[in-house]
Amino acid sequence: MARTIKIPATKYPVERFTLDNGLRVVLAPDRTAPVVGVAVVYDVGIRSEPQGRTGFAHLFEHLMFQGSENLEKLAHFRHVQGSGGTFNGSTHLDYTDYFETLPSNALERALFLEADRMRGPRLTEENLRNQVDVVKEEIRVNVLNRPYGGFPWLKLPPVMFDTFPNAHDGYGSFDDLESATVADAAEFFERYYAGGNAVLAVAGDLDVVAATELIERHFGDVPARPAPARPDFAEPDLSAERRESYPDRLAPLPAFAAAWRVPDPINAFDDYLPYVVLAEVLTDGDASRLVERLVLRDRTVTSIGAYLGFMGEPFAVRDPTALVMQAHLPPGGDVDKVLRAIDEELDRLASGGLTAGELARTQARMATHLLRETDAVLGRALQMAVLEQQRGEPGLLNELPRLVGAVTEEQVRAAAAALRPGRRATVEVIAGGAGR
């Protein structure tokens, strides 16, 4: 009989409302510590940027820190850090976020800062040229001059996908970045940085009535602009295996990444969840199937991991997405041999099922990770903002550990059976060599 586990559920309260200008707001009060997490998530990411403007979503994230309607450059940094807080922003496939963690008595300061740049960042030729140079240097450091730079999140999508939104380089080409104009930036802001295209989430030590009044005071007069139509990301599944390789002169060891399409993570959530669990069954810890066989027993790889989404965000990504598996091999390693072994293990799992306690152990570890990620108020605010934006369900955060624990062995086996070689895209890193 399959062993089952009882997954604890969180009960973070959730309050939701929408301002007249379309800004959606999520509040999650928690008075246990005098700290708040503030997150603003805009529904624009790498997949939304137009052709000829690769890297623009990330470039614009930089521009949002270069001053705003009422504040000079670096003022945002000074006001947050002067309050004892921390801040940052990040660009993802399907959204861009901006966030702060501060003492709760500085909540109004954070709200003012975010509302001020939502009204309008300081878009000047000087700021644009400066940040283009910053992004170009980031590409040099993180991709061009680093072993395995861009692997696999930049290298695998163009093997798997054909359409521009899904396949293009999200960091951007130097030509596209250098040709960007202030007018381009202003149009991008006008289109995508509308209140109706954003979610504000605040979690932590707050009074709902008082926080609501502050939000209305600071965000209520942000000019109303509707959310733009989202580009069409649709793309058919693979009908035959795809495989490419490329040389990496800095890579000390060969490597590969393989990916299979999975069900729509939002509109087919129940069908998608088993793949999230399957990825962990395959590679989470020394007792997992592929680590035990490929790393510890066969020694055909030095490391292997599987995860959902090219940026590893299983619950913050839209369709199409994939289960991604990446591995590094010892010198002279045989990628074909490793892929055959992975296929054998998937077949064995699909036909023979899981061993006693294997699923329960995996689900317990997953639940622990999910609970830890939202223990801090900022993690809670960020995840609730994305869940509200993509699903209209910020309270799903409370249910995710339980839903992961409810996935059955039969569902995991069916997911494993769907990962066939004919649906696989693979990119191989040739260590210091020549690609085929």
Q: Averaged in consecutive runs of 10 residues, what is the pLDDT profile of the chain (436 residues)?
A: 69 97 98 97 96 96 94 93 97 98 98 97 96 98 97 98 97 96 96 97 98 98 94 95 97 97 98 98 96 98 98 97 98 97 98 92 95 96 98 97 95 98 98 64
Question: What is the number of other CB atoms lying within 10 angstroms of the CB of residue 307?
Answer: 19
Question: What is the number of other CB atoms lying within 10 angstroms of the CB of residue 33?
Answer: 12
Query: CA nearest 431: which of 302, 332, 338?
Result: 332
8 A C-beta contact, residue 280 and residue 366: yes
Query: CA nearest 324: which of 263, 260, 276?
Result: 260
Q: Which residue has the tokens 């061993």?
A: 355
- Looking at residue 9, its pLDDT comes to 82
Query: CA nearest 189: which of 220, 222, 214, 154?
Result: 222
- Looking at residue 1, its pLDDT comes to 44
Burial call 85-113: b when 16+ CB within 10 Å, e when fewer: bebebebbbbbbbbbbbbbbebbebbbbb
8 A C-beta contact, residue 219 and residue 19: yes
Domains of the chain, by residue range, sit at 15-219, 242-431
Q: Do domains 15-219 and 242-431 have the same CATH topology?
A: yes
The CA distance from 103 to 159, in Å, is 46
8 A C-beta contact, residue 213 and residue 402: no
pTM over 0.85: yes
Superfamily of domain 242-431: Metalloenzyme, LuxS/M16 peptidase-like (3.30.830.10)
CB neighbour class for 436 (10 Å; exposed up to 12, middle 13-18, buried from 19): exposed
Question: Strand pairing partners for 97?
Answer: 41, 90
- Looking at residue 433, its pLDDT comes to 63
Residue 48: both structure tokens together = 């939304």
The domain made up of 15-219 has a fold known as Cytochrome Bc1 Complex; Chain A, domain 1 (3.30.830)
As a whole number of Å, the end-to-end CA separation of the chain is: 49
- Looking at residue 306, its pLDDT comes to 98
The CA distance from 381 to 39, in Å, is 6
Cα distances (angstroms) measured from residue 34 to each of 106, 372, 405? 10, 19, 32
DSSP character at residue 284:
S
The CA distance from 351 to 409, in Å, is 11
8 A C-beta contact, residue 362 and residue 290: no
Cα distances (angstroms) measured from residue 241 to each of 200, 210, 420, 424? 42, 56, 9, 5
- Looking at residue 178, its pLDDT comes to 97
Q: In 184-330, where do the E strands start and end?
A: 198-204, 242-248, 255-261, 303-308, 322-328
The CA distance from 361 to 339, in Å, is 26
Give the strand pairing for 242-248 and 424-431: parallel
Question: What is the number of other CB atoms lying within 10 angstroms of the CB of residue 21?
Answer: 18
